Structure 1
Amino acid sequence: MYKEADIANIPVAILCGGKGTRLKEETEFRPKPMVMVGDRPMIWHIMKTYAHYGFQNFMLCLGYKGEMIREYFFNYDWNHNDVLLELGDKKVTKLNNGHEENWKVWLIDTGQETMTGGRLKRLTPYLEKMDSDILLGTYGDGVCNVDITKLLDFHYSHGKLATMTAVRPTSRFGELAIEDNLVTYFQEKPQTSAGWINGGYFVLHRKVLDLIQGDATVFEAEPMKTLAALGELAVYKHDGFWQCMDTYRELELLNKLYAANQASWKIW
């Protein structure tokens, strides 16, 4: 079980390495998590959601154009505070506290062609140094207003190895069969489906990483199918807002909502 004071130390893994080919209007120039929603990149919106509930430890699984994500966080203080730059002495002094983010950001190169499971697996040596038997995780291209502390409470209540958040989007990307709050069947992105789908926002015991063979493992394939078959994949049903950013049309929708102050995910 966790204590509220421990939340800041629970790692949050965010998958940031994909090429985002369906959004090539933007991803030709930047990784999808760096696509702007309003005046901030998508990755910032996701992290702010977790931070709202006290999570401060973020492990970013980098790949395609990962250097842009590195640069963004390396320069975060520089770009969000007033600073005094002394050119001769090459000295920089922060003049104010222009932002409230006190995050630990792990920038982990997980490979250019690595699949989702492989990216999580590559976190293993760093997770072993942390005092947490679980990790949270999500994708770097979707926002949600799920109550993450309630999600965590639910995970500890059932004692299973994994919990996934199920959502009802306007378009369908995957199929879940649910019985007594357990996933009995999982298929990612079938040709047709109905009902609940995989919305990300996972809670995983670190033992789940043992089901991942290596870089070529798609997390949504064998590992999750195995968890479902073993009765170890519970589901947290979220009826609230959830929206991915797979296409330019979906990006436009998110920006319109943000501009109109109707961004349901903006809970901070």
Structure 2
Amino acid sequence: MKTIILCGGMGTRLREETEYKPKPMVEIGGKPILWHIMKHYSFYGYNEFVLALGYKGNVIRDYFLNYFNYNSDFTVDLSAGGKVSIHNHSESENWKITLVETGADSMTGYRVKLCAPYLTDERFMLTYGDAVSNVDIASLVKFHKEMDTIGTVTGVFPPSRFGDLILEGKMVKKFKQQLKDVEHQSPINGGYFVFKREFLDAIPNDPTVDLEKLPIDTIVEKHQLSVYRHSDFWQCMDTFRDNQLLNKMWVENPIWKLWQ
């Protein structure tokens, strides 16, 4: 099963990093967040990726075309016409990556539509290129197959950024910083989708189509979107503050790092 990763957004709330690179190439611990996402899927044995490129997509193309050069020691022999010898393959991955140009201004639904020719299985996975998690991909896929719905979305429960006030009348009964109430809180869309291939039929061939609107609404109306509840770690990287947090976590306790 292949995994589409949406890599075309500009990341306007992360301008400190995205002026010269696309959001999925913003680094955590010296590696693009895109790399972290791919390592996560690869840990569960899913090594085929379709990257939907857009804003500054050439940065992503360059990274993978020169992957060994960026992640290895090497020698350039100019006397032999610039022959390159790679010395250590410390970052050798069992990945097969298809890079698809989907337009700088396209919406997410259209980006997925343009990836359709490269999807060869009856199901595919899809996620955003700006969030990391320790979601159990094997359990997610198993759940999707058991539910037998057209689509499954992973519902996550991020803690409140500003804290929560527990009230008793007009008085504060308790103040909880970064409360996560899985029992009563509604989950939010955390990405990590699994779809049957027929979902692609619900996406019009229109650059203005947003994945989360018409296509998703279509299968919701048919009662064909199930939710896989993930109450453990999930963190998006929308802002510079998020990026700083993830870099701090990478040093102290990278919960999403399941691989060795």
Which band: TM-score by shorter chain?
0.7 to 0.9
> In structure 2, how many angstroms separate the alpha carbons of the residues matched to 1:28 and 1:49?
27
* TM-score normalised to structure 1 length: 0.84
Which residue of structure 1 aligns with residue 35 of structure 2?
44
Choose the corresponding residue for 2:217, options 225, 230, 238. Answer: 225
Which residue of structure 1 aligns with residue 133 of structure 2?
144
Per-residue CA distance 1:43-87 (angstroms, 9 max, x = gap): 000000001001111111000011101111111012222333322
Which residue of structure 1 aligns with residue 45 of structure 2?
54
Alignment check: 8 A CA contact 2:28 2:243 kept: yes
Larger radius of gyration: 2
Does 1:17 find its partner at 2:8?
yes
Name whichever of 145-154 and 72-81 sits farther off.
72-81
The structure 1 segments of at least 4 consecutive aligned residues displaced by more than 3 Å after TM superposition are: none
Per-residue CA distance 1:26-49 (angstroms, 9 max, x = gap): 111211001011110110000000
Which structure 1 residue ranges, 5 or more long, are not aligned?
A: 1-9, 173-193
Root mean square deviation of aligned Cα: 1.5
Alignment check: 8 A CA contact 2:203 2:209 kept: yes
Choose the corresponding residue for 1:116, options 88, 108, 112. Answer: 108
Which residue of structure 2 aligns with residue 73 of structure 1?
64
Q: Secondary structure at the match of 2:5?
A: strand
Does 1:197 find its partner at 2:188?
yes
Choose the corresponding residue for 1:162, options 133, 151, 166. Answer: 151
* TM-score normalised to structure 2 length: 0.87
Per-residue CA distance 1:154-197 (angstroms, 9 max, x = gap): 1111111100000001249xxxxxxxxxxxxxxxxxxxxx5211
Q: Secondary structure at the match of 1:88?
A: helix
Which residue of structure 2 aligns with residue 186 of structure 1?
none
Alignment check: 8 A CA contact 2:152 2:193 kept: yes
> In structure 1, how many angstroms separate the alpha carbons of the residues matched to 2:70 and 2:214?
42
By how many angstroms is 1:233 displaced?
0.2
Q: How many residues get paired? A: 235
Identity %: 48
> In structure 1, how many angstroms separate the alpha carbons of the residues matched to 2:142 and 2:38?
20
Choose the corresponding residue for 1:235, options 220, 227, 230. Answer: 227
Which structure 2 residue ranges, 5 or more long, are not aligned?
A: 162-184
Which residue of structure 1 aligns with residue 201 of structure 2?
210
> In structure 1, how many angstroms separate the alpha carbons of the residues matched to 2:191 and 2:106?
18
